[in-house]
Structure 1
Amino acid sequence: MDGAAVATTGARARRDLTGSALLAVTRGEQPNHPPVWFMRQAGRSLPEYRALRKDTAMFEACFTPELACEITLQPVRRHRVDAAILFSDIVVPLKAAGVGVELVAGTGPVVAEPIRTAADVAALPELEPDAVRPIAEAIRLLLAELGTGPDGTPLIGFAGAPFTLASYLIEGGPSRNHERTKALMHSDPDTWHALAGRLAGITLTFLRAQVAAGVDAVQLFDSWSGALSERDYRRFVLPHSAAVLGGLAGAGVPRIHFGVGTGELLGAMAEAGADVVGVDWRVPLDEAARRIGPGRAVQGNLDPAVLFAGWDVVEAEVRRIVAEGRDTHGHVFNLGHGVLPDTDPDVLTRVVELVHSL
């Protein structure tokens, strides 16, 4: 089945989620309250997640449908958020394609054979749709649990953007300065674009499979793009992120695009084709909306560290952010990055209750 057919099939399979505040915002509507969910909400701070993952490796959890389903549902049950985010990892499609990558505790993704040359790029495997059947099965299980109609909860699909995937592959793991990545971009742009193009194809295949399985929205994470200047982003990254988001244009699902430290890139990121642009905590939402331009909603942007500051501080910040969000085309409340591991889950639940009350 080609990509267009996959996208069309996914569009026909959309659930009736008439009461979804999240989907209303992505359509330009104003629901009764801002929808709220949290990045990295599926785990990390929840004791029930830690108990489930105690003897289970990350990839095993991601590729075991029943585990991925249960972990995705845990924060929905506990916090009553307005969307579930599929439990996965940025490098899952690379692993599924056959790339030698492992998730090392305390470090993150580690690549056995980093990619540095045109020959390395040529040897990069494609992602076959059959390789992501466990993810599609997890989505099938989740849709049965998340319901339909006014009380149904939308499910957000998940993928890493080409630049972030490329950085892991070139550096061999997480990097503070991305020096090898930037050096390759500037010294050998042909090889860079060949690599980024291959990764855009892998990401698009991964997201199309999720759409065909029935997810209600997708988010493209570009965790490391904030390390770039706007000029370099436009030259080296924007075409490939646009290829992914543009490849989903007919899929019938809203597209969210998020990066960390991307305040200076928000306008360019909006041009990649998302319906909602995520904002970290460094830029106020009303200013972010001005940079993004009209016609797109914003998502964010409570600093995750503020959740440790006591409820009076948290409440004041939540109220400020919701007020800023009223001056935008539409606002999805979220953190400005992921939930930190030591966050008190009860604080997250109270944040959801407060946002719903506003």
Structure 2
Amino acid sequence: MNDNFPVLKNDVMVRAARGEAVGRVPVWVMRQAGRYLPEFQEFRKKHDFFEICRTPELAAEVTLMPIRRYDLDAAIIFSDILVIPQALGMEVQMVGGVGPVLPNPLVKPEDVKTLLKLDVDVEKELHYVMEAITLTRHKLDGKVPLIGFSGAPFTLMGYMIEGGGSKTLSKTKKWLYQNPEESLQLLDQLSDVIIQYLVAQVKAGAQLLQVFESNAGFLGPKQFNKFSLPFLKKISEKVKQSLTDLNVPTVPMIVFAKDAHFGIESLSHSQYDVISIDWAIEPSEARSLAGPKVTLQGNLDPCALYSDVQQIDLMVKEMVESFGTNRYIANLGHGIYPDVNPQHLAVFIDSVHKYSQNTDI
């Protein structure tokens, strides 16, 4: 554990995640270091996507881009959830206009043994992520905390079987129905890799962690409870226990199970400190399901940023009033889209600040 990091000057995100009293609602945005930024677009003309991920200096620079431009309360390390399949030996390409492509996906359960290196040394194979985190912590100079992250087991499994994104995830769900035991075994093995990865990120300097179960909405309640929830719980429990065993302070953990509103109540009884929610649920309903002991994060529709600035301001006001200023982190309900006007994101952030001063403390 690096003990020589600059002192954190703005800890409102960390305190809100832990449920402590804060003077205002913290705000950050999923995919905030990305294609909507003109400076990132220029940067990409010179550097391949995975070149940036694998080069700590480049990853740190991109991570800092939105922090320089906006009054955000957290940075999130520039990386990708698919570095884990890469570490396991799968080829992943980032194809313009298409997105991630895995040209040699898993087709049948036997492929797991032949295509994957499940005994991978995560810290060695993904050393560049940890180096980027440590470097970024120093470059941030304590301005805001740094978030580390990973894809969740079912979401990673989906990419590894589909060979990329999918509108139906039918190949993956075919595995769940036809090969349930093999699916559970793969999900458990991926969980072990993710646990190692997240622990390594904290040791490298990550001050919060987010687990992205972006494909949760493809599962119904029963399948979610069988193929997603147990592994999400295992990750939060084992990461915190591992850090304690290593005498490393635990950090707040965020889970984002997109479109799985039926899982909010169950996740609130896990060891996640924050549940991030998408835009397709009323804040009052999410709060009722999560209960009083979990912080919520979200949930403005990313497409709302296409509105004019007056409408964005109004929608943020309504959102903050609906969630309240305690145990709440403002964010979008998913990642920001690449064609959003950067100035509209500035309005979103400034409106959160304007409407979220906590008068209760």
Aligned residues of 2:83 and 2:126 also touching (Cα < 8 A) = no
Aligned residues of 1:219 and 1:256 also touching (Cα < 8 A) = yes
Report what 1:198 is aligned to.
Answer: 189
Paired letter, 1:66:
E
Shift of 1:55: 3.1
1:214-233 aligned within 5 A: 214-233=205-224
Aligned residues of 1:41 and 1:75 also touching (Cα < 8 A) = yes
Give the match's secondary structure for 1:249. helix
TM-score, normalising length: structure 2: 0.91
Paired letter, 2:329:
V
Equivalents in 1 of 2:225, 2:140: separation in Å?
38
Report what 1:335 is aligned to.
Answer: 332
| Residue 147 in structure 1 maps to residue 147 in structure 2 | no
- CA 1:270 to 1:186, structure 2 compared with 1: closer, same or farther past 3 Å? farther
Give the match's secondary structure for 1:247. helix
Equivalents in 1 of 2:158, 2:200: separation in Å?
24
Shift of 1:304: 0.9
Equivalents in 1 of 2:191, 2:95: separation in Å?
25
| Residue 55 in structure 1 maps to residue 46 in structure 2 | yes
Q: State the Cα deviation string for residues 14-63 of structure 1 (Å, max 9, x = none).
A: 86436311011112112111000000001211000010111322111101
Report what 1:181 is aligned to.
Answer: 172
| Residue 25 in structure 1 maps to residue 22 in structure 2 | no
Q: State the Cα deviation string for residues 81-126 of structure 1 (Å, max 9, x = none).
A: 0000111111012213321222222222222222233322223213
Report what 1:92 is aligned to.
Answer: 83
Equivalents in 2 of 1:220, 1:331: separation in Å?
18
Report what 1:125 is aligned to.
Answer: 117
| Residue 266 in structure 1 maps to residue 264 in structure 2 | yes
| Residue 134 in structure 1 maps to residue 128 in structure 2 | yes
Report what 1:351 is aligned to.
Answer: 348
Instruction: Count the aligned residue pairs.
Output: 345
Paired letter, 2:335:
G
Give the match's secondary structure for 1:209. helix
Aligned residues of 1:230 and 1:268 also touching (Cα < 8 A) = no
Report what 1:322 is aligned to.
Answer: 320
Paired letter, 2:46:
D
Percent identity of paired positions between Structure 1 and Structure 2: 37
Q: State the Cα deviation string for residues 225-276 of structure 1 (Å, max 9, x = none).
A: 1111111100111111212121222431000001322223222333443110
Unaligned runs of 5+ in 2: 244-249, 356-361
Equivalents in 1 of 2:22, 2:6: separation in Å?
19
Equivalents in 1 of 2:177, 2:74: separation in Å?
40
- CA 1:18 to 1:51, structure 2 compared with 1: closer, same or farther past 3 Å? closer
Q: CA RMSD, aligned part only?
A: 1.7
Aligned residues of 1:226 and 1:265 also touching (Cα < 8 A) = no
Match of 1:298 among 289, 292, 296: 296
Equivalents in 2 of 1:273, 1:14: separation in Å?
27
